[in-house]
Amino acid sequence: MHELSIAQEILSIVKASLPEPDSKVTAIRLKIGQLSGVLVDSLKFSFEAITSQTEFENSKLEVIEIPIKIKCNDCSKVSIISEPIFLCPECNSFNVQLLEGRELEIVEIEIEDNKEEK
Amino acid sequence: MSVITVERKVLEKNDQIAQKNREKFKSKNLFVMNFVSSPGSGKTSLIEKTIEHSQGKIKIAVIEGDVQTSLDAERVNKFNVPVVQIVTNGGCHLEANLVRDAYQNIENENFEVLIIENVGNLVCPSNYDLGEDIKVVILSTTEGDDKPLKYPAMFRNASVLIINKIDLIPYVNCNLEEMKKNALSINPELKIFEVSCKTNQGIDEWVNWISDRIKG
Protein backbone atom coordinates (compact mmCIF):
# COMPACT_ATOMS: atom_id res chain seq x y z
CA MET A 1 0.00 0.00 0.00
CA HIS A 2 2.90 2.37 0.62
CA GLU A 3 4.52 1.55 -2.74
CA LEU A 4 3.06 4.71 -4.23
CA SER A 5 4.85 6.96 -1.77
CA ILE A 6 8.03 4.93 -2.28
CA ALA A 7 7.69 5.42 -6.05
CA GLN A 8 7.42 9.17 -5.44
CA GLU A 9 10.56 9.16 -3.28
CA ILE A 10 12.42 7.26 -5.99
CA LEU A 11 11.37 9.77 -8.62
CA SER A 12 12.46 12.73 -6.52
CA ILE A 13 15.88 11.19 -5.79
CA VAL A 14 16.33 10.35 -9.47
CA LYS A 15 15.43 13.90 -10.50
CA ALA A 16 17.95 15.28 -8.02
CA SER A 17 20.67 12.97 -9.36
CA LEU A 18 20.43 13.93 -13.02
CA PRO A 19 23.47 15.63 -14.55
CA GLU A 20 21.18 17.82 -16.68
CA PRO A 21 17.56 18.54 -15.83
CA ASP A 22 16.49 17.18 -19.22
CA SER A 23 18.62 14.01 -19.19
CA LYS A 24 16.62 11.08 -20.48
CA VAL A 25 16.55 8.26 -17.97
CA THR A 26 16.27 4.82 -19.52
CA ALA A 27 16.64 2.70 -16.40
CA ILE A 28 16.67 3.00 -12.62
CA ARG A 29 18.35 0.16 -10.79
CA LEU A 30 17.11 -0.62 -7.30
CA LYS A 31 18.13 -3.02 -4.57
CA ILE A 32 15.10 -4.36 -2.74
CA GLY A 33 15.52 -6.75 0.14
CA GLN A 34 13.11 -9.58 0.80
CA LEU A 35 12.41 -8.08 4.23
CA SER A 36 11.90 -4.53 3.01
CA GLY A 37 8.13 -4.87 2.96
CA VAL A 38 7.95 -3.67 -0.63
CA LEU A 39 6.00 -5.55 -3.25
CA VAL A 40 8.01 -5.21 -6.45
CA ASP A 41 5.07 -5.54 -8.87
CA SER A 42 3.11 -2.98 -6.95
CA LEU A 43 6.08 -0.61 -6.91
CA LYS A 44 6.52 -0.95 -10.68
CA PHE A 45 2.82 -0.34 -11.20
CA SER A 46 2.92 2.76 -8.99
CA PHE A 47 5.99 4.07 -10.75
CA GLU A 48 4.36 3.62 -14.15
CA ALA A 49 1.27 5.38 -12.90
CA ILE A 50 3.09 8.48 -11.66
CA THR A 51 5.43 8.74 -14.67
CA SER A 52 2.84 8.13 -17.37
CA GLN A 53 2.91 10.95 -19.95
CA THR A 54 5.93 12.56 -18.33
CA GLU A 55 9.59 12.66 -19.36
CA PHE A 56 10.09 9.53 -17.23
CA GLU A 57 7.51 7.53 -19.14
CA ASN A 58 10.18 5.30 -20.67
CA SER A 59 12.32 4.96 -17.56
CA LYS A 60 12.31 1.34 -16.48
CA LEU A 61 12.61 0.20 -12.88
CA GLU A 62 15.07 -2.67 -12.72
CA VAL A 63 14.99 -4.47 -9.42
CA ILE A 64 17.77 -6.53 -7.92
CA GLU A 65 16.06 -8.61 -5.26
CA ILE A 66 18.22 -9.25 -2.20
CA PRO A 67 17.60 -12.46 -0.25
CA ILE A 68 17.77 -12.65 3.52
CA LYS A 69 21.37 -13.28 4.57
CA ILE A 70 22.18 -14.04 8.18
CA LYS A 71 25.32 -14.67 10.17
CA CYS A 72 25.27 -17.01 13.13
CA ASN A 73 26.81 -15.51 16.26
CA ASP A 74 27.55 -18.98 17.62
CA CYS A 75 29.13 -20.84 14.71
CA SER A 76 29.93 -17.80 12.49
CA LYS A 77 28.37 -19.45 9.45
CA VAL A 78 26.84 -17.06 6.89
CA SER A 79 23.67 -18.40 5.26
CA ILE A 80 20.95 -17.32 2.92
CA ILE A 81 17.55 -18.30 4.23
CA SER A 82 14.38 -18.57 2.18
CA GLU A 83 11.90 -18.27 5.04
CA PRO A 84 12.21 -15.40 7.48
CA ILE A 85 12.78 -17.73 10.41
CA PHE A 86 16.00 -16.51 11.90
CA LEU A 87 17.54 -19.87 12.57
CA CYS A 88 21.07 -20.87 11.63
CA PRO A 89 20.72 -23.84 9.22
CA GLU A 90 24.14 -25.06 10.32
CA CYS A 91 23.81 -25.27 14.10
CA ASN A 92 20.11 -24.43 14.73
CA SER A 93 20.94 -21.38 16.82
CA PHE A 94 18.54 -18.43 16.93
CA ASN A 95 21.42 -16.17 17.88
CA VAL A 96 21.88 -14.72 14.40
CA GLN A 97 22.37 -11.28 12.95
CA LEU A 98 20.79 -10.00 9.80
CA LEU A 99 23.39 -9.05 7.20
CA GLU A 100 21.19 -8.38 4.19
CA GLY A 101 17.54 -8.33 3.26
CA ARG A 102 16.25 -4.94 4.42
CA GLU A 103 17.62 -2.95 1.46
CA LEU A 104 15.55 -0.31 -0.26
CA GLU A 105 18.09 1.63 -2.28
CA ILE A 106 18.65 3.27 -5.60
CA VAL A 107 21.91 1.86 -6.91
CA GLU A 108 22.31 3.67 -10.22
CA ILE A 109 20.49 5.25 -13.10
CA GLU A 110 21.12 4.85 -16.77
CA ILE A 111 20.74 7.84 -19.04
CA GLU A 112 20.79 8.31 -22.78
CA ASP A 113 23.81 10.17 -24.07
CA ASN A 114 23.10 13.52 -25.60
CA LYS A 115 24.06 12.72 -29.17
CA GLU A 116 22.46 15.58 -30.97
CA GLU A 117 22.41 18.96 -29.38
CA LYS A 118 19.08 20.65 -29.40
CA MET B 1 24.31 5.23 -22.66
CA SER B 2 25.93 6.27 -19.43
CA VAL B 3 25.43 5.10 -15.92
CA ILE B 4 25.27 7.37 -12.90
CA THR B 5 25.96 5.88 -9.52
CA VAL B 6 23.38 6.99 -6.99
CA GLU B 7 23.72 4.65 -3.97
CA ARG B 8 21.02 6.31 -1.92
CA LYS B 9 18.40 4.91 0.38
CA VAL B 10 14.93 5.49 -0.98
CA LEU B 11 13.61 6.56 2.41
CA GLU B 12 16.63 8.67 3.36
CA LYS B 13 14.53 11.81 3.74
CA ASN B 14 12.31 10.11 6.30
CA ASP B 15 15.35 8.61 8.05
CA GLN B 16 16.99 12.04 8.36
CA ILE B 17 13.91 13.61 9.92
CA ALA B 18 13.54 10.59 12.22
CA GLN B 19 17.11 11.07 13.37
CA LYS B 20 16.38 14.73 14.16
CA ASN B 21 13.28 13.66 16.09
CA ARG B 22 15.37 11.15 18.02
CA GLU B 23 17.92 13.80 18.99
CA LYS B 24 15.16 16.13 20.11
CA PHE B 25 13.46 13.41 22.19
CA LYS B 26 16.78 12.51 23.73
CA SER B 27 17.52 16.10 24.68
CA LYS B 28 14.18 16.16 26.50
CA ASN B 29 14.90 12.83 28.22
CA LEU B 30 11.84 11.23 26.68
CA PHE B 31 11.26 7.49 26.36
CA VAL B 32 9.43 7.12 23.04
CA MET B 33 7.47 4.06 21.98
CA ASN B 34 5.95 3.40 18.56
CA PHE B 35 2.87 1.16 18.95
CA VAL B 36 2.26 -0.97 15.87
CA SER B 37 -0.30 -3.69 15.19
CA SER B 38 -3.09 -4.71 12.87
CA PRO B 39 -6.41 -2.85 13.26
CA GLY B 40 -8.43 -3.91 16.28
CA SER B 41 -5.71 -5.58 18.32
CA GLY B 42 -6.19 -3.08 21.14
CA LYS B 43 -3.55 -0.37 20.71
CA THR B 44 -5.78 2.41 22.01
CA SER B 45 -7.13 0.22 24.83
CA LEU B 46 -3.58 -0.57 25.85
CA ILE B 47 -2.74 3.15 25.87
CA GLU B 48 -5.78 3.83 28.04
CA LYS B 49 -4.82 1.07 30.47
CA THR B 50 -1.18 2.14 30.52
CA ILE B 51 -2.16 5.71 31.44
CA GLU B 52 -4.72 4.54 33.98
CA HIS B 53 -2.30 2.20 35.75
CA SER B 54 0.63 4.60 35.71
CA GLN B 55 -1.12 7.60 37.18
CA GLY B 56 1.06 9.23 39.78
CA LYS B 57 4.04 7.18 38.56
CA ILE B 58 4.70 8.05 34.93
CA LYS B 59 3.76 11.16 32.96
CA ILE B 60 2.63 10.10 29.51
CA ALA B 61 1.78 11.97 26.30
CA VAL B 62 0.23 10.42 23.21
CA ILE B 63 0.38 11.01 19.47
CA GLU B 64 -2.51 9.22 17.77
CA GLY B 65 -2.29 8.19 14.13
CA ASP B 66 -5.40 7.22 12.23
CA VAL B 67 -6.56 7.15 8.66
CA GLN B 68 -9.70 9.06 9.59
CA THR B 69 -11.42 10.60 12.65
CA SER B 70 -10.12 11.86 15.96
CA LEU B 71 -12.04 9.21 17.92
CA ASP B 72 -8.88 7.75 19.46
CA ALA B 73 -7.59 11.12 20.61
CA GLU B 74 -10.97 11.76 22.21
CA ARG B 75 -10.69 8.47 24.11
CA VAL B 76 -7.21 9.35 25.38
CA ASN B 77 -8.20 12.93 26.12
CA LYS B 78 -10.45 11.74 28.97
CA PHE B 79 -7.32 11.00 30.99
CA ASN B 80 -6.12 14.60 30.90
CA VAL B 81 -2.81 13.83 29.26
CA PRO B 82 -1.26 15.74 26.35
CA VAL B 83 -2.60 14.20 23.14
CA VAL B 84 -2.39 15.10 19.44
CA GLN B 85 -4.26 13.41 16.62
CA ILE B 86 -2.66 12.87 13.23
CA VAL B 87 -5.15 12.04 10.46
CA THR B 88 -3.31 10.51 7.51
CA ASN B 89 -6.27 10.81 5.11
CA GLY B 90 -5.73 7.40 3.59
CA GLY B 91 -2.01 7.08 4.33
CA CYS B 92 -1.29 3.58 5.65
CA HIS B 93 1.51 4.53 8.06
CA LEU B 94 2.97 7.46 9.98
CA GLU B 95 6.07 9.20 8.68
CA ALA B 96 8.73 11.05 10.65
CA ASN B 97 7.67 14.51 9.44
CA LEU B 98 4.10 13.96 10.67
CA VAL B 99 5.42 13.03 14.10
CA ARG B 100 7.77 16.03 14.10
CA ASP B 101 4.87 18.39 13.37
CA ALA B 102 2.52 16.74 15.87
CA TYR B 103 5.15 16.84 18.60
CA GLN B 104 5.41 20.63 18.27
CA ASN B 105 1.90 20.88 19.69
CA ILE B 106 2.85 19.17 22.97
CA GLU B 107 6.52 20.06 23.19
CA ASN B 108 6.09 22.34 26.17
CA GLU B 109 3.91 20.00 28.20
CA ASN B 110 5.34 18.06 31.10
CA PHE B 111 5.83 14.34 30.30
CA GLU B 112 8.53 11.70 30.23
CA VAL B 113 7.03 8.97 28.05
CA LEU B 114 5.68 9.55 24.56
CA ILE B 115 3.50 6.87 22.99
CA ILE B 116 2.99 7.13 19.24
CA GLU B 117 0.06 5.03 18.08
CA ASN B 118 0.74 4.13 14.47
CA VAL B 119 -1.91 3.38 11.87
CA GLY B 120 -3.25 -0.17 12.26
CA ASN B 121 -1.15 -2.05 9.72
CA LEU B 122 1.55 -4.68 10.14
CA VAL B 123 3.35 -3.98 6.86
CA CYS B 124 4.20 -0.39 5.96
CA PRO B 125 4.97 1.10 9.41
CA SER B 126 7.97 -1.23 9.72
CA ASN B 127 9.77 0.75 6.99
CA TYR B 128 9.34 4.19 8.49
CA ASP B 129 11.52 5.19 11.40
CA LEU B 130 9.80 7.89 13.44
CA GLY B 131 12.66 8.57 15.84
CA GLU B 132 11.29 6.28 18.55
CA ASP B 133 13.38 4.37 21.08
CA ILE B 134 11.49 1.14 20.59
CA LYS B 135 8.70 -0.38 18.57
CA VAL B 136 6.07 -2.22 20.57
CA VAL B 137 4.04 -4.69 18.52
CA ILE B 138 0.63 -5.59 19.85
CA LEU B 139 -0.93 -8.87 18.81
CA SER B 140 -4.25 -10.14 20.08
CA THR B 141 -5.16 -13.76 20.64
CA THR B 142 -8.06 -13.48 18.16
CA GLU B 143 -5.63 -12.87 15.31
CA GLY B 144 -4.11 -16.35 15.37
CA ASP B 145 -0.76 -17.69 16.48
CA ASP B 146 0.86 -17.59 13.03
CA LYS B 147 0.83 -13.77 12.65
CA PRO B 148 4.54 -13.30 13.49
CA LEU B 149 5.51 -15.64 10.63
CA LYS B 150 3.30 -13.73 8.20
CA TYR B 151 4.68 -10.29 9.08
CA PRO B 152 8.31 -11.01 9.97
CA ALA B 153 9.71 -7.53 9.28
CA MET B 154 7.52 -5.97 11.92
CA PHE B 155 8.30 -8.57 14.57
CA ARG B 156 12.00 -8.50 13.74
CA ASN B 157 12.16 -4.72 14.27
CA ALA B 158 10.16 -4.59 17.49
CA SER B 159 11.65 -4.80 20.99
CA VAL B 160 8.47 -5.67 22.85
CA LEU B 161 5.54 -7.93 22.01
CA ILE B 162 2.30 -7.40 23.89
CA ILE B 163 -0.11 -10.30 23.55
CA ASN B 164 -3.48 -8.73 24.24
CA LYS B 165 -6.94 -10.26 24.88
CA ILE B 166 -5.31 -13.04 26.86
CA ASP B 167 -8.66 -13.55 28.63
CA LEU B 168 -10.12 -14.86 25.36
CA ILE B 169 -7.72 -17.79 25.11
CA PRO B 170 -10.37 -20.37 26.19
CA TYR B 171 -12.70 -19.22 23.41
CA VAL B 172 -10.42 -18.75 20.42
CA ASN B 173 -8.35 -20.99 18.26
CA CYS B 174 -4.99 -19.65 19.40
CA ASN B 175 -2.15 -21.65 20.87
CA LEU B 176 -0.35 -19.19 23.12
CA GLU B 177 2.86 -21.21 23.33
CA GLU B 178 2.93 -21.54 19.54
CA MET B 179 2.38 -17.77 19.16
CA LYS B 180 5.31 -17.01 21.46
CA LYS B 181 7.49 -19.62 19.76
CA ASN B 182 6.74 -18.13 16.34
CA ALA B 183 7.48 -14.61 17.55
CA LEU B 184 10.77 -15.65 19.14
CA SER B 185 11.82 -17.51 16.00
CA ILE B 186 11.64 -14.19 14.16
CA ASN B 187 13.18 -12.21 17.00
CA PRO B 188 14.66 -14.04 20.01
CA GLU B 189 15.25 -10.73 21.82
CA LEU B 190 11.54 -9.84 22.05
CA LYS B 191 10.35 -9.03 25.54
CA ILE B 192 6.85 -10.53 25.79
CA PHE B 193 3.96 -9.40 27.99
CA GLU B 194 0.65 -11.22 28.19
CA VAL B 195 -2.13 -8.79 29.00
CA SER B 196 -5.85 -8.26 28.96
CA CYS B 197 -7.16 -4.73 28.67
CA LYS B 198 -10.51 -6.14 29.76
CA THR B 199 -9.50 -7.84 33.02
CA ASN B 200 -6.27 -5.80 33.62
CA GLN B 201 -4.21 -8.98 33.73
CA GLY B 202 -0.53 -8.19 33.14
CA ILE B 203 -1.01 -4.42 32.86
CA ASP B 204 0.86 -3.57 36.07
CA GLU B 205 3.81 -5.70 35.04
CA TRP B 206 3.96 -3.81 31.72
CA VAL B 207 3.68 -0.42 33.44
CA ASN B 208 6.46 -1.38 35.85
CA TRP B 209 8.65 -2.31 32.92
CA ILE B 210 8.14 1.16 31.38
CA SER B 211 8.81 2.73 34.75
CA ASP B 212 12.15 0.87 34.98
CA ARG B 213 13.10 2.10 31.49
CA ILE B 214 12.71 5.76 32.41
CA LYS B 215 14.55 5.40 35.69
CA GLY B 216 17.45 3.70 33.92
Query: A52-90: per-residue pLDDT in tens?
Result: 999 999 999 999 999 999 999 999 999 999 887 888 999
ipTM: 0.86
Q: What are phi and psi of A55, to 5 degrees?
A: -70, -10
Nearest chain A residue to B93 by CA distance is A2
pTM for the full predicted model: 0.91
CA distances from B144 to B123, B139, B180, B195 (A): 17, 9, 11, 16
Mean pLDDT calculated for residue range A14-38: 93
Instruction: Identify the residue with better confidence: B95 or A21.
Output: B95
Cα end-to-end span (Å), chain B: 57
The mean pLDDT value of chain B amounts to 95
pLDDT at A116: 56
A68-72: strand order across its sheet: A78-81, A68-72, A96-100
User: What span, in angstroms and rounded, lies between the C-alpha atoms of B71 and B50?
Assistant: 18
A92 pLDDT more than 50: yes
Contacts of B149 in chain A (CB under 8 A): 84-85
From the list B6, B10, B156, which residue is nearest A9 (CB)?
B10
Q: Do A106 and B12 touch (CB under 8 A)?
A: no
The stretches in chain B having pLDDT less than 50 are: none
Mutant choice from B2, B3, B6, B187 vs A, greatest count of A C-beta within 10 A: B6
A118 pLDDT more than 50: no
A110 touches chain B (CB under 8 A): yes
Contacts of B10 in chain A (CB under 8 A): 6, 9-10, 13, 30, 104-106
> Is B120 exposed, middle or buried (CB count within 10 Å of its CB: 0-12, 13-18, 19+)?
buried
